[in-house]
Amino acid sequence: MTRVWPGQPGRLAEVPLAGAARRHVRRLASSATGAPRPRHPVPGWAVVSAGLSPVLATGGWLIADAVQPASYSPIRKTVSVLAGHAGTDRWIMTGALFLVGGSQLATAVGLAGVPAPARMVLAVAGLSSIGIAASPEPARGSTPQHLAWTALGAVAIAVWPALVARRAPPRPLILSSYGRAVVTAVFIALLGWLVIETQGGSDLGLVERLFLSTETCWPFAVAIALRQATG
């Protein structure tokens, strides 16, 4: 809309209201182009920390197994023996447990795409790994502190998949209700098998290694699924 200004015949000018509206549109456009990009639900460093946990856990017991005397049986003896006072070069498994705990703590901080309870339980699992390393088994038997940290960490990492759910769509299959139920059932079954083996079973070391290596992989799988879902 235009009009002729008084005293200036033939000169057209915009109505002030129309000019103000156009300036407002320009401001909106400039603010939209300069807005920061939304934060990714899983930053790259969280994916790296999640991937380090199974590598450190499995690599730790593989290397520690290799330096033990011939009398040591990885099928019967637990990983805790490798980090305990009876283990040869126990610093290998002790260092691996500390690093696994630190990686899980970092992953818990970085997984912003999952609910807070899931991140807290993963942090508990990380603290438990550090607690296990800080309270090594004596040459014979165990200690209440070591058993408490071991039990807490095993339960935390076993139930963790049940708490993981993406806050907003799209939801990957492994984070759907069905996927989480299946994974949790498998982890609980592994935990039950581990508990049974602690009652004098001959395959305790094998089951513990299977439990440790499998369940430390899951935060990495969740991180990758969230990255792919949000593209």
Give the pLDDT confidence of 115-128 residue by residue, as tens digits: 899 999 999 999 99
Same domain assignment for residues 20 and 80: no
Those residues whose C-beta lies under 8 Å from the C-beta of residue 102, and which sit 6 or more positions away, are: 126, 130
- Helix pair 204-215, 44-66: axis angle to 10 deg: 160
- Contact call for residues 130 and 95 (beta carbons, < 8 A): no
Tell me, yes or no, whether 38 lies in a domain: no
pLDDT over 50 (residue 41): yes
Same domain assignment for residues 102 and 136: yes
Same domain assignment for residues 93 and 49: yes
Same domain assignment for residues 48 and 90: yes
Same domain assignment for residues 85 and 132: yes
Q: Looking at residues 66-70, what average pLDDT do you find? A: 93
Q: How many domains does the chain have?
A: 2
pLDDT computed for residue 14 by the predictor: 47
Same domain assignment for residues 98 and 10: no
Residue 12 pLDDT level (bands cut at 50, 70, 90): very low
Higher pLDDT, 117 or 167: 117
Structural domain range at position 24: 2-33
Same domain assignment for residues 121 and 213: yes
Same domain assignment for residues 63 and 91: yes
What is the Cα–Cα distance from 175 to 230, expressed in whole angstroms?
A: 13
Tell me, yes or no, whether 151 lies in a domain: yes
Residue 35 pLDDT level (bands cut at 50, 70, 90): very low
What is the Cα–Cα distance from 28 to 73, expressed in whole angstroms?
A: 69
pTM to 2 decimals? 0.79
Same domain assignment for residues 139 and 162: yes
Q: What is the pLDDT of residues 93-144, one digit of tens each?
A: 999 999 999 999 999 999 887 889 999 999 999 999 999 999 999 988 889 9
Q: Is 59 helix (H, G, I), strand (E, B) or coil?
A: helix
pLDDT computed for residue 30 by the predictor: 45
Distance between start and end Cα atoms, the chain: 46
Same domain assignment for residues 108 and 173: yes
Same domain assignment for residues 91 and 182: yes
Same domain assignment for residues 12 and 121: no
